[in-house]
Amino acid sequence: MSTTMSSETAATVEPQTPWSTPRAIRIRTTSVVALSAAFAVVVVLFTGVAGIDGWAITFMGLSIVVVLARTSRAGSKERKDALMRVIITSAAVTAFAPWLSIFGSVILKGYLGIRPNFFSQDMRTTTPDDFLEFGGALHAIVGSLLMVLIASAITLPLGILSGVYLTEVRGRLTFLVRFVVQSMSGVPSIVAGLFIYTTWVTATESFSAFAGALALAVLMLPTVARTAEEVLKLVPEDLRAAGYALGARQWRTAFMVVIPTVRSGLTTAAILGVARVIGETAPLLLTSLSNSALRFHPFDGPIASLPTYVFGYLQIGTEYAIARAWTGSLVLLAIVFVLFTLARRFGGKDKR
């Protein structure tokens, strides 16, 4: 056997990607898409179909027609594949649109109020109608963070422990615990507020951040517990067996082997729990009420929160009050985004 490959030919070999779409075809596809989009604009301008939605529907319809026309000479399998690709892409874009619309309108209407004073002042000495240069939502931001923090401190240990009970201990009460968690996830948020109102607020005769946090915890627990259970179920039985075979007791195996293996999944459980409650308004109206002053005490009197801030200023309904409400919504979205990013960053990745 002889190898005839010389060093010259070896040197001229360039790395290539023969599987990628050739440039000519890419240009053709892009121009067809652009033409369909332009034609859809013409249709919107000269027919009864109107608005962005009208354009989108026309564009999707046109894309399907174009795809059918272009693949008319291809085999039926290729034709189906191309058609399904257009339909699935359209469906994905359609599902994305409402999210984009909400996000866009909050940013467009809320950015006006984003000024340093919005994050450094409360509304003690400012009336809702004052210019946006005055007053802010510091009290509401602090109140929301305080309540979510207390609610998380109550819920995360409880939720993860009940997940551990359902997947590791598998005791006699498994069915009962799972049933309670599932029914709790169906509780309307106002009912959670009412529950804390009758048990805690009337007993202490005071609205407070702690009461608000309790109501949020009631709503947060089922989300955290169910997600934790699902995540813990993913841990391979092998690893538990390995722990037991090393002479470990069940709880040591659960806390040293099983839980560390799914740390990032449990972070996700916490994120979902926070996301579930940070925007809740109704239970807070019955438990923490609202306040225009910056406060930190969790047990002493009503406290502001971003959702009740937004709700309150929308109710007032004047131009600057509504602008404050939009900015409050934007800050709420931003806080959720920042919390998620931090949790993803520090929650770590599953090393699997």
Partner 1 sequence: MSNTSTTVSATANETTAFAGLETRGAHAWFGKHHALRDISLTFPARTVTGIIGPSGCGKSTFIRLLNRMHEFIPGAAMAGSVLLHGNDIYEPTVDAAEVRLKVGMVFQKPNPFPAMTIRENVLSGIKLAHLKRPNHDDIVENCLTRAGLWKEVKDRLGASGGSLSGGQQQRLCIARSLAVEPEVLLMDEPCSALDPGSTLRIEETIKELAEKITVIIVTHNMQQASRVSDYCAFFLTDGGPGYLVEADSTRKIFTNPSDPRTADYVQGKFG
Binding site for partner 1 (CB under 8 A): 236, 238-239, 241-249, 252-253, 256-257, 260-261, 263, 350-352
Closest approach, Cβ 291 to partner 1, in A, equals 44
Q: Give the rounded distance of the alpha carbon of 350 from its chain centre.
A: 20
CB-nearer residue toward partner 1: 58 or 253:
253
CB-nearer residue toward partner 1: 41 or 246:
246
Contact status, residue 126 vs residue 316, Cβ threshold 8 Å? no
**71 Rama sector, left if φ>0, alpha if ψ -120 to 50, beta otherwise:** alpha
CA distance 240 to 233: 11
CB-nearer residue toward partner 1: 253 or 308:
253
CB-nearer residue toward partner 1: 205 or 238:
238
* Cα→Cα distances 273→84, 140, 239, Å: 36, 20, 27
- Which positions ≥6 away from 86 have C-beta within 8 Å? 60, 63, 64, 67
Closest approach, Cβ 166 to partner 1, in A, equals 16
Calculate ∠ Cα 245-247-253, nearest 5°: 80
Closest approach, Cβ 163 to partner 1, in A, equals 17
Helix residue ranges per DSSP H, 47-167: 51-70, 76-110, 116-120, 138-164
* Cα→Cα distances 310→76, 109, 117, 314, 321, Å: 55, 13, 17, 6, 9
Contact status, residue 143 vs residue 291, Cβ threshold 8 Å? yes
Closest approach, Cβ 237 to partner 1, in A, equals 9
Closest approach, Cβ 238 to partner 1, in A, equals 4
CB-nearer residue toward partner 1: 214 or 235:
235
CB-nearer residue toward partner 1: 41 or 256:
256
Closest approach, Cβ 155 to partner 1, in A, equals 23
Query: DSSP string spanning 146-182?
Result: HHHHHHHHHHHHHHHHHHHIIIII--TTHHHHHHHHH
